Amino acid sequence: MIGVGFAALAAARWIHFIAVMLVFGASLFPFYALPAQAHALAGLAHIRGPVRVAALIALVSGVCWAAASLASITGDPASLFDADTLWTFFFDTGFGKIWALRFLLLVAMLLAVLTAGRKLPTRNIASALSAALAALLLVSQAWIGHPAATAAGERTIVVAGYALHVLGAGAWLGGLVPLLLLLRAHSAEKNALEFALRRFSALGMLAIAMILAGGLSNAWARWDSIDGFIASAWGKVLIVKVLGFFGLFILAAVNRFVLMPRLDANGSARMRLVRNVLAEQAGGVLILFAASILGLLPPPA
């Protein structure tokens, strides 16, 4: 039963992370990657469908996550259909209230994305609203997970670090999707593409700094001894996550310092860039899998 519950929680968390980060990163993209006068870019319109689907999946996976969480608390899946238990979960626990708020945010995000129509991948209020709602969803995860259990004196720093970490990761990983669409759109203007790539790599560096600063501050709060750290399953999964991050970091550096300068010279640099962005996306999805497990394992005290 523990095995099934753990797998259900991990799967729901994984899918939820991917979906919310896609909405966040893709909605944020036009604000930094498009030239001021550009209303829209060829290829970018194709992001609408994936963002709508992601907002719907975010809602469904959010419900599944909360349901799996409640079932693991009561030890009885039937309690999901008990009104008193549901009331107690949502209104008598600290994290339940956050879940109630997150459901409102998830519905609002879905409505915002669905009603935005053709406004979505451009610089406007609809995109800003989607990005803001997704950002709140990412940050609010702090209060339904390990950061909530840190000592009162450390909690502010841990939650702030968590916010930096998830927003940096979401901007980077979510932004890779519209970036890929631009790279693959043959009609995309070369100047606009180069502008977007330059801006994305600047954002990427900021995101990496946020991921590192946030991750280090959270790991620091958990750091007791190197032996305890390595011995724990939590520590092992974290090591896998860090190695994956360095893999992405190397790919991003190759993109920025090797392939981008050659973009003019030949078409093969663009093809390699497409391949690397795809590899970064795959790596990001695997890192999020590690993150979904990390939140379920007890950190070393």
Partner 1 sequence: MKIIRKNLLAGAFLLTSLAAADAHAQLESANPRVGSIVSAAPSVLTLNFSEGVEPAFSTVQVTDAAGRRADAGKPRVNGRVVLVPLRPLAPGQYTVRWRVLSVDTHTTEGSFGFEVRP
**To the nearest whole angstrom, how small is the minimum distance from the Cβ of residue 85 to partner 1?**
9
DSSP 44: G
Smallest distance from partner 1 to CB 229, Å: 16
* Interface with partner 1 in residues 136-165 (CB under 8 A): 144-149
Q: Tell me how many residues contact partner 1 (CB under 8 A).
A: 23
Give least dist CB 295 to partner 1, A: 9
112/52 Cα distance (integer angstroms):
10
Q: Which is nearer to partner 1, 143 or 172 (CB)?
A: 143
Does 73 sit near partner 1 (CB under 8 A)? yes
Closer to partner 1 at the Cβ: 82 or 194? 82
Q: Looking at 88-96, 166-174, 180-188, 286-294, which segment touches partner 1 (CB under 8 A)?
A: 88-96
Closest to 276 measured CA to CA, from 293, 295, 257: 257
Query: Biggest alpha carbon distance in the chain?
Result: 67
The interface region with partner 1, picked from 14-22, 32-40, 166-174, 292-300 by CB under 8 A, is 292-300
Q: Do 127 and 27 form a contact (C-beta atoms < 8 A)? A: yes
For 137-180, give the DSSP string: HHHHGGGGSGGGGS-HHHHHHHHHHHHHHHHHHHHHHHHHHHHH
3-state helix vs strand vs coil in the chain, percent to 5: 85, 0, 15
> From the CB of 236, what's the least distance to partner 1, in Å?
14
DSSP 3-state of 108: helix
Among 11, 32, 53, 93, binds partner 1 (CB under 8 A): 93
Binding site residues, partner 1, CB under 8 A? 2, 69, 72-75, 88-89, 92-96, 144-149, 296-298, 301
